[in-house]
Amino acid sequence: MKRFIFLIIMLFIPQFSFADKIKHVAITAIIEHPSLDQIRDGVKDELIDSGYKLNENLTVQYKSAQGSSATAAQIARQFVSTKPDAIVAIATPSAQAIAASTKQIPIIFAGITDPVAAKLIKNWQPTGTNITGVSDYQEIIPQIDFMKKIVPNVKSVGYIYSPGEINSTVVLKNLQIHLSKQNISLVAVPAQRTADISTAAITLKGKVDLIYTTTDNNVVSAYESLVKFANENKIPLLASFPDAIERGAVAAYGMSYYDVGRQSGKFVVRILNGEKPGSIAPELGQTLHLVINTDAAKKQGVNLSPEIIQSAYKIIGQ
């Protein structure tokens, strides 16, 4: 009888051990668009390359808030109730919703322009809390230099933004300060919803020499309408995120959001391996690249200099 009980115990021990090794990661984004999707994919690929196998020793749950802050809060509550080993929050509204819902579960923010202004962290030192992550913040002066290289005689810059997004208002403030120092005017137009982007673009007609775009979630979600306006009115469309050229921008200077995902994924791996998020200092995204779309340049009336073309990391178009 004792031998029979021993065999039963031995039969179940491997199953319990295997279950104990399974890690659960939840990922949420405020909306689905190429830049944010690349962050998500980068996180998953980093986990897999670090030895985790989906549905064997790792489960990954993903939910998009579809642009709704209320839905982001609902997703946060749902995720917290499942008690994952880590939550990756992509974009500011989702990160704020998750942070408001738990002080225990590790949170890794990703693709957030200013986590300090978003009140996720106090500074760039280890937080001592359950939060760390990777910011996509970019210094504005190199962005202005980039604008001047693409449109050398620029005197006026158009900027459409969501007033409710901290990442966008931080960029707005920096543009206001630094463009004025170079005697370049800024025409900033708020767009509360994705549906407002087209109307906002029309107000820029005849007023600006170029339109500058960042990863404002409303703007990126309606990017094709902005491209259409730029093509029709011969206004160069520039961006701070590289995948914008695939969608019709003339040029972009910025970091790869897939790389931001990989960088964030390294944080997730460290936490799954036992490190505390509060001991890991938040980081900025790393390498920036210049990418151009020669077809878009023709449509939007831009003559790209040989120097610009030669310095580009990537070129699409004929």
Using pLDDT thresholds of 50, 70 and 90, give the confidence band for residue 1.
low
CA nearest to 261, candidates 153, 152, 110: 110
Q: What is the pLDDT of residue 208?
A: 98
Residues 6+ apart with CB under 8 A from 75: 28, 63, 65, 94, 97
Q: Where in the chain is the domain with CATH 3.40.50.2300?
A: 19-136+256-286, 140-255+289-316
Residue 7 has pLDDT above 50, yes or no: no
Using the predicted structure, report yes or no on whether residue 241 has a pLDDT greater than 80: yes
List b or e across 182-202, with b for residues whose CB sees 16 or more CB atoms inside 10 angstroms. Answer: eebebebbbbeebebbeebbe
pLDDT at position 88 over 50: yes
pLDDT at 20 over 70: no
CA distances from 242 to 30, 214, 234, 259 (A): 20, 10, 21, 12
The verdict on domain 19-136+256-286 having CATH code 3.40.50.2300 is: yes
Confidence of residue 33 (pLDDT cuts 50, 70, 90): confident
Supply the pLDDT for residue 34. 84
Q: What is the mean pLDDT of the chain?
A: 92
Lowest-confidence segment of 19-23, 105-109, 278-282, 290-294 by average pLDDT: 19-23
pTM of the model: 0.81
Task: Report the relative pairing of strands 237-239 and 251-255 from DSSP bridges.
Answer: parallel
**Cα distance between residue 146 and residue 212, in whole Å:** 11
Residue-wise DSSP of 187-206? EEEE-SSGGGHHHHHHTTTT
Using an 8 Å Cβ cutoff, are 163 and 315 in contact?
no
CA distance 46 to 73: 27
Dump pLDDT digits (tens) for 190-221.
999 999 999 999 999 999 999 999 989 899 98
pLDDT at 3: 52
| Separation of alpha carbons 102 and 157, rounded Å | 41
Which CATH superfamily includes the segment(s) 140-255+289-316? Answer: Response regulator (3.40.50.2300)
pLDDT at residue 73 in the model: 96
CB atoms within 10 A of CB 181: 9
- Mean pLDDT over 138-161 rounds to 96
DSSP string, 223-287: HHHHHHHHHHHT--EEESSTTHHHHT-SEEEEE-HHHHHHHHHHHHHHHHTT--GGGS--EE---
